[in-house]
Amino acid sequence: MVPADTHHAGRTRSFSFGDYVVGAASNGRVFGCAFGDGTVRLFDSLTPDAEPVCIKAHAGAALCISADIDKAAFLTGGDDGMLVHTSMLGEAKSLAEHKHRWVDHVTAHAGSGYRVYSVGKDAYVIPKKSAGEPRKLNHKSSVGGLAINPKGRRLAVSHYDGVSLWWLGAKDSGPTLLEWKGSHLQLAWSPDGTHIMSAMQENAVHGWRLSDGEHMRMSGYGAKVRSLAFTRKGHFLATGGADTVVCWPFTGGGPMGKAPAQFGDTEGVAVTAVAANPKLDLMAAGFETGAVILGQPGQDRTVSVAGGGGGSVTALCWNPDGDALLTGTETGEIHITDFRA
Amino acid sequence: MTQDTLQKIPVTVLTGYLGAGKTTLLNRVLKENHGKKYAVIVNEFGEIGIDNDLVVGADEEIFEMNNGCICCTVRGDLIRIIGGLMKRSDNFDAILVETTGLADPAPVAQTFFTDEDVRRRTKLDGVVTVVDAKHVAQTLDDGGEAREQIAFADVILVNKTDLVEPAEIKSIESRIRALNPYAKIHLTDRCAIDLNHILDRGAFDLDRILEIDPEFLHDDHASDHGHDHEHNHEHRHDPNPVHSKDIRSVSFSTDRPINPQKFDAWVNDILMSQGQDILRTKGILNMAGDDRRFVFQAVHMMSEGAFTGPWPTSDNRGSRLVFIGRNLDEAALKQGFEACAA
């Protein structure tokens, strides 16, 4: 534990666990974090002094985490082939098992009740009220990312050469394929559900406007983009992969032909994670040095948050009220910053 | 490519046709009491005789990278799996990648030079190819990826030597040498070999490329090494796969110092225009005005070079360069290389 640093915004409590922070999610007042040793740790964002609940969820490494449709519960996938449900009470139960395979990605939508995870080329959809086998969605190549649209009805699956869009409720329907050459990874829906954006294996972002299939190509990054997030009203898409937070404008006809707004110039240190505040027009950005800043697209002024050291920021997550931020790094540092003070 | 090899996990790639003995070798590595922990990426589960949670099944997925390099294909599944392995808390000492019998090794090798995450945490240690002494001659005659696998290798195990006559082994060795002059060849029975000969080779470390089989180069001066090949003066790649039969190596040496600018311009031009056909390039060069050895290597179009240290002896500073590929115009390459003299 490190005392709060008065030079930084908010009051921060820090932990050092030593295992790779695979990802983080928030569900109600609880932050869930998944680690490279297969543990899941749960932190109460409103009681920062409380000790985290630690659960051994996977035999090997956890690979992905999402808030579950249940309150204060999380879903994780691991290289032990398990999809695990972990509750705030510290109970872990297996929802699915794929022997000798990896559960690479997981997501869920509380409103519509769908849980989705992927194993290699297949995504599996588990509806809330269904006792039968999950619906299996096959793709030509391995799944690079999963994202359910804000309304909870459509699933975007990224893979090599594009993104497949599936209707979650239409059991026998096939996918709509949005094609673009290259390997597609992390996905982000615009808050109004009109655009789907993909961070690619190449140093680029590709996007589609769903109404007419119009392509958006965004390149010029010095590193892999890794992370992308729309500001809460969808005015900007903030992205990693550069030594400044590159924010593409989505107002007035979209980003085509426009220069991106930026904030946080760090001269050669790449942004590895971005997270939009759910209540304010504020973006958090984490860097490969472990540093975290808050800023707004096009505004010079940024605020430094605790952190720095501990290697790349690999997890960055706000609580739903937007007054607490969790930072996780590749060397197992966790910082929880409380901005209520 | 980066030269920073600190704390990077070495990766050994195992290639070879089905039945040559890859799995035997893999099991040998896993069972031997060497005190090391390996993560093994296999193309098919169930062949490995050891239950180990660090054995990972991979579906070969070839990705084209849009990075301005027309021949740049990588293994998307390896990027994903290595990314996942790097998150694990239990450390391992090395990674072994087994490819399918029909795989072209180039996308596997290129993965380790292309993806920034893979490159940051791992380094390609060597490509080991297992061939079956009994069938290799026929396999080479049939064309296909067997030639690529031998041409690409740093270490070649000629396995099942108990099944063939010594004279046959000689002929196999000379056919392998024509395809690949610098690989270390080992004759084995049931892949019995000291693992130091196949692991931790540093075959892609510029610092450890100390020599390029000078013996072969001497032979080369004396004979026309392309014993069963004709010169092919079409330089452009041909869609006809029969041309893969034309894989061979050409090597050059000169005692005159090399002009660094001329060499740089020439070799870049060669790799840009013919890099699809050139599988691997290695060179040790005496650059004019510098007392150190300059080491150069390339996998298709991806190249790197650096001064690595002093020459072993001050009186023997001959420059040597080897290309392995198809459709190589030996005369033009020789002329180009010699024109790089200072």
Three-state secondary structure of chain B: CCCCCCCCEEEEEEEECCCCCHHHHHHHHHHCCCCCCEEEEECCCCCCCCCCCCEEECCCCEEECCCCCCCCEEEHHHHHHHHHHCCCCCCCCEEEEECCCCCCHHHHHHHHHHCHHHHHHEEEEEEEEEEECCCHHHHHHHCCHHHHHHHHCCEEEEECHHHCCHHHHHHHHHHHHHHCCCCEEEECCCCCCCHHHCCCCCCCCHHHCCCCCHHHHHHHHHCCCCCCCCCCCCCCCCCCHHHHHHCEEEEEEECCCECHHHHHHHHHHHHHHHCCCEEEEEEEEEECCCCEEEEEEEECCEEEEEEEEECCCCCCCCEEEEEEECCCCHHHHHHHHHCCEC
Please check whether residue B76 touches A, CB under 8 A: yes
Q: What is the mean pLDDT of chain A?
A: 93
Flag the least confident range among A13-22, A140-149, B18-27.
Answer: B18-27
B221: pLDDT strictly greater than 60: no
Flag the least confident range among A12-16, B225-229, B336-340.
Answer: B225-229
Whole-number pLDDT of residue B232: 36
Please write the tens of the pLDDT for every residue from B231-260: 333 333 333 333 444 788 999 999 999 999
Flag the least confident range among A118-122, A241-245, B276-280.
Answer: B276-280
A159: pLDDT strictly greater than 90: yes
- pLDDT more than 70, % of chain A: 97
Please write the tens of the pLDDT for every residue from A316-335: 999 999 999 999 999 999 99
In terms of Cβ atoms closer than 10 Å to its own Cβ (0-12, 13-18, 19+), residue B27 is: middle
Q: Give the alpha-carbon dihedral of B22, B26, B32, B36, to 10 degrees.
A: 140
Whole-number pLDDT of residue B7: 78
More confident residue, B81 or B45: B81
Helix axes B105-114, B76-85, angle to 10 degrees: 50
Please check whether residue B137 touches A, CB under 8 A: no
CB contact under 8 A, A102 and B84: yes
Q: How confident is the model at residue A266 (pLDDT cuts 50, 70, 90)?
A: confident
A60: pLDDT strictly greater than 90: yes
Out of A60, A142, A160, the one facing B88 most closely (by C-beta) is A60
CB contact under 8 A, B115 and A181: no
Instruction: Report whether A83 contacts A60 (CB < 8 A).
Output: no
Q: What is the mean pLDDT of chain B?
A: 83
A231: pLDDT strictly greater than 80: yes
Contacts of B88 in chain A (CB under 8 A): 20, 36-37, 60-61, 79
Q: How confident is the model at residue B52 (pLDDT cuts 50, 70, 90)?
A: low
Q: How confident is the model at residue B53 (pLDDT cuts 50, 70, 90)?
A: low
Residue A213 CA to residue A218 CA, distance in Å, equals: 16
Closest CA to B293 of B185, B173, B204, B208: B208
Closest chain A C-alpha to B85 CA, distance in angstroms: 8
DSSP A48: T
CB contact under 8 A, A36 and B45: no
Residue A132 CA to residue B333 CA, distance in Å, equals: 66
Residue A208 CA to residue B211 CA, distance in Å, equals: 52
Alpha carbon B236 to its chain centroid, in Å, reads 22
pTM score, whole prediction: 0.88
B222: pLDDT strictly greater than 70: no
A164: pLDDT strictly greater than 80: yes
Which span out of A46-55, A150-159, B249-258 was modeled with the highest average pLDDT? A150-159
Please check whether residue B117 touches A, CB under 8 A: yes
Q: Compute the count of residue pairs across chains A and B with CB atoms less than 8 Å apart.
A: 69
Whole-number pLDDT of residue B31: 84
Closest CA to B41 of B84, B5, B102: B84
B216: pLDDT strictly greater than 50: no
Which of the residues A98, A105, A140, A142 would you substitute to probe the B interface, choosing the one with the greatest number of B C-beta atoms within 10 Å? A142
Which of the residues A21, A76, A79 would you substitute to probe the B interface, choosing the one with the greatest number of B C-beta atoms within 10 Å? A79
Find the residue in B nearest to A21 (Cα): B87
Please check whether residue B207 touches A, CB under 8 A: no
More confident residue, B316 or A205: A205
Give the residue-averaged pLDDT of A184-208: 97
- Please name the residue that has the structure tokens 């056909």: B277
Contacts of A201 in chain B (CB under 8 A): 63, 65, 76, 79, 115
DSSP A69: S
Out of B76, B87, B116, the one facing A142 most closely (by C-beta) is B76
CB contact under 8 A, B53 and A224: no
